[in-house]
Amino acid sequence: MIRRFESLQADGLVHAVTTRAGGVSPAPWDSLNLSWARPDAAPNVLENRRRVCQALEIPASRLVQAGQIHGVGVTAVGACDVGRGALERATVLPPSDGLITDTTELYLFACFADCVPLLFYDPGRPAVGIAHAGWRGTVGSMAGEMVRAMRETYGTRPEDVRVVIGPSVGPCCYEVGSDVIAAARSMLPDAGDLLLAVNEQHAHFDLWRANQTTLLRAGVLPEHIETSGLCTVHHAQDFFSHRATAGQTGRFAALIGLRADVQAH
């Protein structure tokens, strides 16, 4: 039901990426669909969220979710936002593909099905962040915008930040067309190393390395970046994948937050 990462193992820090197992949703959203945006019934989504939160020993009512539009906007959320999007779709925050907070007992939540989950932790403040990065977010420097927003909002030092690049479509399966190739070449200095040509119009795009490169340029240390290396297309039995199912699928989630007893390091 949930996976955790070594670089985010810290007292007072809660984090997870969910799998697709252990829920109540029927096919093709079987079984742990966590998104309100699917045609899945809302009571199923609510029960799935309850199960995930029970496994993490946190209240589902303390989740915070924003709309996702493949942008690079980052929103700082606080105590007044607790519960937005947690228990019903109508209360979801306005669109923002990045969320950050230093408020305890508030758990940032986002949904995925091939796009890249990015989880951020600053142990010094402490503060956390979550981002949704598809190809648009990746070439638009979503990862860099998150580091910048945490620095400007919380005084985070980039060299202190721990980042997880979660399960997503891997370079093995992410074949893109000329529009994505052009955008990557125009906005990413190292695009030549990130695009493996298939022919003149198609290439395989390495979203993992692209986000890692952006993080390094933003000042994050290489030893503080953990990449899961799990391709959601190859592992569609474990994670929802839009590409593997022609869009007929649910959404898994990533979440991160600080318990009340978190200590600065």
Among candidate residues 83, 74, 192, 228, the one with its CA nearest the CA of residue 140: 74
Is 90 exceeded by the pLDDT of residue 106? yes
pLDDT in tens, 4-59: 999 999 999 999 999 999 999 999 999 999 999 999 999 999 999 999 999 999 99
pTM confidence score:
0.97
Is 80 exceeded by the pLDDT of residue 199? no
pLDDT in tens, 138-149: 999 999 999 999
Average pLDDT value over all residues in the chain: 96
The domain 2-168+221-258 having CATH identifier 3.60.140.10: the answer here is: yes
DSSP string, 225-250: EEE---BTTTTTTTS--TTTTTT---
Is 90 exceeded by the pLDDT of residue 204? yes
β-bridge pairing 13-18 and 98-101: unpaired
Please provide the distance, in angstroms rounded to a whole number, between the alpha carbons at the two ends of the chain: 30
pLDDT score of 224? 98
Task: Report CA-CA distances (Å) from 120 to 30, 48, 127.
Answer: 29, 24, 8
